[in-house]
Every structure is written in structure tokens, then in C-alpha cells.
Amino acid sequence: MSERSSASRAAERTAPSQGPAGGVPATPGLGQDTVTVAGPATDRPEDFADGARLRRSLKLRHIVFLGLAFMAPLAVFDTFGLVSEATDGHVPLAYLAVLVAVGLTALSYARMARRITSAGSVYTYAGKSLGAPVGFLVGWSATLDYVLLPMLNALLAAIYMGAVLPGVPAWVWVLSTVVVCTALNLVGIQLAAKVNVALVVVQAGVAIAFLVFAVRAIATHGESFGTTGWDPASVSLPDLLSGASLLALSFLGFDAVSTLSEEAEHPRRDIPRAILLIVAAAGVFFLAITYAMQTLFPDVSVVGNIVGASPEIAKYIGGAAFQAVFVGGYLTAVLGCGLTQQMSAARLLFAMGRDGMLPRAVFGRVDPRTGVPALNVLVVGVIAASAVFLDLGSAASLINFGAYVAFAAVNLAVIGFWVRDRRAGRQQARGPLALVLQLLLPALGFVVNVALWVSLDTPAKVVGVIWALVGVGILALHTGGFRRPVRRP
């Protein structure tokens, strides 16, 4: 390797810059607005001044299974009834629309994960590409879905168990789910990862059984696979987007693995691969399942319980015995999903706490024995326990607000680095392929995600905007009314 190429690589690395007068170091996780990150020197956990770091112990298979567990393959059943009602029986088409948005965004996440390997996901990506203030505001908006997802998961546990054991109060299932997930996360990520592998395998088996029973039921009742649920001419665009806007939570998981960059053994290689593998596998699975379900029930209103439609459909295609198996399988999804959701939320809070944007004494520390941000895990667990106060539709819309903000921001982050690299004369930003991959596709992903964000219901957007304004207030406190750059306090 030539001295010139080695020097070029070294020049692309920037040591943590000095802050304003007084020699206060700039935030290592985000840095000043002018920080450029291209090499590994600025984003290794050991480079952080305060020494707080996570342990590298995850291989590609662990990351993929953690992402699938976070996504929960059986999550396809969560909102089927609600989306089928909203789209007038076009759930597969709605999933296809979301898959386009998610696919484009996954490419952007993969590109950013290859470039930046510190924890924090979209918070770090947007901060290092678009500036520290933007990174904080995007990360703050993203915490809305990361932190609230475990709450939604506990709510779903109560809904599904209520279909089988209606006499047990919902709060029992909520608290049981939260306690188990919190306990496993406090033990350490290795145990959580191993448990999730087993849980994803169980979910896959239940899903395959559901698909087999569904196909048999379609044949038995004289139905046939056709264009049911696919015809765009038979549904209005606003109705389709309204239903599709609820489905982002089904794919949340591919982006969450980017928060594990500091715990992956080979983050630049394995995190991007995991992101693309997770999206591809989940997309095919979701389309197949919803196509079969929509073919069986073109009009979901015939099902007595729209919110809990999936257990009803399971009973219809396989009887009470299969309904029990289905609900049992779903509980494994709840456990696996809850484990990973809480894990990712805790690590996003850890990244923001380590950077001083949240109280470092609470959020920026890890347990020296387990390597886990334990206080963050407990905070997320307490928030999840509030699931008893929300309904499914409201919770899903609220969570998707943060998801679409994060998805749009990551696409902009790729464009931001492309602009910066072109100005610096870097080769990777030149040529027609770079133009397509680093400008046109991210721009398309940004537009599609904004369209889905606009289609969210009004209460979700109002609450989301209020949450974002709180973030603006926090940022103002850290910057003295926006007079100082974002830095460690």
C-alpha cells in the first residue's frame, strides 16, 4: 500500500476537535458541525474521553436475529385488521408501498453504518452529516418510537392474551412482559441475543403453519389467489397512504440494529449486511402472509374484533387448538421483540447521554460488570409499563411519527455526505453510480417517507410536533439560546 494512500486515509480521520474557549472538548459522538467522519478513528468506543463503552461480542447471525426479533415476524398480524379497514382490503398493496420506502431507506442506513460505527443510529448519522443540532433534534424525534415501542409491545401482549383468557386483567400481561424483558436485558446482551435466536425460530415455525392453514382454507372454501388486495385502481391514494402509514412499525428493526454498531465484532461489514438481509426477508414474508389473509377475508369487517382480527382468523383456519398455538407463538414474538426494542432504546439514550445531550450521570453510563446501560433499560421499562393507558391505533401512529422522521433524516444524511465528499474532491462521490446511490435514491426515499409522514393521523402529528418542540427547548438550554455550538456541557 502506498504512502500516499495511507496518508489519504489518515487525513480523512479527524480527532475530536476542541470546543470553544476554555479548551472544553467537543462532543465525541457528534462533534462540531464541521466534523468529518470517514475513518475508524473518530467512532470507536475506546476513543470516547469518558471511557464509557459497550462490548464487541455480536456476530452477523446475532445481529440479523436481533433485528428480526425486534421486527417480530409475527408483527404482520398486529395491524392487519386496522389497515385492511383503512385501505378497503388492500393490505398487501399498502405493505408494498411501505417496502419501497423502507427499501430505499435501508440502502441509506447500510451506507451510513458502513461509514460510522458508533452507537446512536440516526442520531449519530444526522449529527455527523447535517450538523450536531440537527442530529440531536432528529435523535430526539426518533426516541419517540424507540422508547415507546416496548410500550406498544406490552399492549399487544395484553390484546392477544385477552383473546384467549379474557378474565385476566390487561395490566397483568403488560407488567409481566415488561418485567421479563427488563430482567433479561439487565443480565447482558449475549444472553438476550441467544434467547432471541430461539424465539425467532419459534415465530418462523408458527408463521409457516399459519400460511399452510390459510392456503388450505382458501382451497377448501373455493377461493383463489388473484388480484385481491393488489389492484391500485380500486383504492384511493389517500386511503392507501393512510393505511400504509401505520405499517412502518412492522419494519422497525432493520434500523434498530444500527444502534448495535459498538457491540458488533465487524460493524462496517456486518451491520450493513444485516440491515439489507432483514428488510429483504421481512418484505417477502409480510407480502406473502397479508396476501393469504386478504384473500381469505377481502372484507375484514366480517371479523368480530378488528383490533384482534388475527387470533380470530387463526381460529377460523385451524380451529381453537391452532388459535392457542398461534397466540403462544405470538407471545414468543412479544418477548423477543420486547427484548430487542428495550435494548435499542437503551442504547440510543446511552449515546445521547454520553454526548451530554441528556444527563450523563443517568443516561451516559454502563454497568461495568455486564457492559449494559442498566439505568436506561430501567427507564425504558418504566415507560413500557404505561401501556395500559393507550389503544393500539393511537400507539401505532405515535410511534410511526418518530420512525418516518428518522427514515427521512437518514436519507438526507447520505446526501449530506455526498455533497461534502464532492466538495472535498473524494473519488467515492464521483461518477454516475455515486450520483444514483448517494443522491437520487436517497432523495426518492426522503420524498416517499415524507408522504407517509403526512398521512399519519392528526393527533399523532400534534403530539410528535410537541415532542420535537421539547427537544428544541433542551437544545436551547445546551447552547445558551442557540448562541453556542453543541458541545459537552
Average pLDDT over residues 146-171: 81
Beta bridge partners of 264: 58
For helices 237-244 and 91-115, give the axis angle rounded to 10 degrees: 50
441/338: higher pLDDT: 441
46/93: higher pLDDT: 93
**Helix, strand, coil share of the chain (percent; to 5):** 75, 0, 25
Please give the share of the chain, as a percent, with pLDDT higher than 70.
82
Model pLDDT, residue 135: 87
| Alpha-carbon gap, residue 363 to 353, rounded angstroms | 5
pLDDT above 80 (res 141) = yes
pLDDT tens digit string along 358-404? 888 888 888 888 778 889 989 988 888 877 676 777 777 777 888 88
Average pLDDT over residues 306-311: 66
Nearest Cα to Cα of residue 276 among 43, 57, 91, 113: 113
Average pLDDT over residues 431-457: 90
| Alpha-carbon gap, residue 333 to 329, rounded angstroms | 7
Nearest Cα to Cα of residue 373 among 347, 351, 353: 347
Model pLDDT, residue 53: 61
pLDDT tens digit string along 199-248? 778 888 888 898 899 888 888 876 777 777 888 888 898 899 888 888 87
pLDDT above 70 (res 2) = no
Model pLDDT, residue 488: 40
Out of 44-48, 183-187, 344-348, 440-444, which region has the weakest mean confidence (pLDDT)?
A: 44-48
Torsion of CA 96, 101, 104, 105, to 10 degrees: -130
Please give the share of the chain, as a percent, with pLDDT higher than 90.
12
* Residue 489 to residues 27, 104, 328, 375, 485, Cα–Cα distance (Å): 9, 37, 48, 21, 11
Model pLDDT, residue 35: 34
Beta bridge partners of 232: none
Model pLDDT, residue 95: 93
pLDDT above 70 (res 84) = yes
| Alpha-carbon gap, residue 368 to 127, rounded angstroms | 28
Instruction: Answer for the pair 445, 104: CB distance below 8 angstroms, yes or no.
Output: yes
Nearest Cα to Cα of residue 354 among 20, 19, 46, 146: 46
CATH superfamily of 60-478: Amino acid/polyamine transporter I (1.20.1740.10)
| Alpha-carbon gap, residue 240 to 374, rounded angstroms | 41
Model pLDDT, residue 191: 66
Average pLDDT over residues 253-282: 85
Compute how many other C-beta atoms are within 10 angstroms of the C-beta atom of residue 170: 17
Model pLDDT, residue 1: 44
Torsion of CA 96, 101, 106, 108, to 10 degrees: 160
**Max avg pLDDT among 90-94, 140-144, 245-249, 369-373:** 90-94
Instruction: Answer for the pair 388, 178: CB distance below 8 angstroms, yes or no.
Output: no
